[in-house]
Amino acid sequence: MFTILLFAGVVIVAYIFRCFVVIGKKCTSKVKLHGKTVIVTGSNTGIGKTTAIDLAKRGARVILACRSKQRGEAALQEIKRESGSNQVVFMQLDLGSLKSVRSFAETFLKSEPRLDILINNAGVLMHGRTEDGFELMFGVNHLGHFLLTNLLLERLKECGPSRIVNVSSLAQNFGKIDFNCLNSHKALRLGTSFTQMFQIYSDSKLCNVLFTYELAKRLQGTNVTCYSLHPGDEGSVPCPTLCQSTLWKKLVTPCPYHYVSGNIKSNCTYPPETQQCIFVLCGVHRFFVHNSETIHATVLNPVGP
Residues labelled as active-site residues: 201
Amino acid symbol at 36? K
What gap in Å lies between CA 277 and CA 282, rounded to an integer? Answer: 9
What gap in Å lies between CA 188 and CA 140, rounded to an integer? Answer: 13
| Three-class secondary structure assignment of the chain | CHHHHHHHHHHHHHHHHHHHHHCCCCCCCCCCCCCCEEEEECCCCHHHHHHHHHHHHCCCEEEEEECCHHHHHHHHHHHHHHHCCCCEEEEECCCCCHHHHHHHHHHHHHHCCCCCEEEECCCCCCCCECCCCCEHHHHHHHHHHHHHHHHHHHHHHHCCCEEEEEECCHHHHHCCCCHHHHHHHCCCCCCCCHHHHHHHHHHHHHHHHHHHHHHHHHCCCCCEEEEEECCCCCCCCCCCHHHHCHHHHHHHCCCCECCCCCCCCCCECCCHHHHHHHHHHHHHCCCCCCCCCCCCCCCCCCCCC
Neighbour tally for 21: CB within 10 Å: 14
What gap in Å lies between CA 123 and CA 127, rounded to an integer? Answer: 12
What gap in Å lies between CA 186 and CA 295, rounded to an integer? Answer: 31
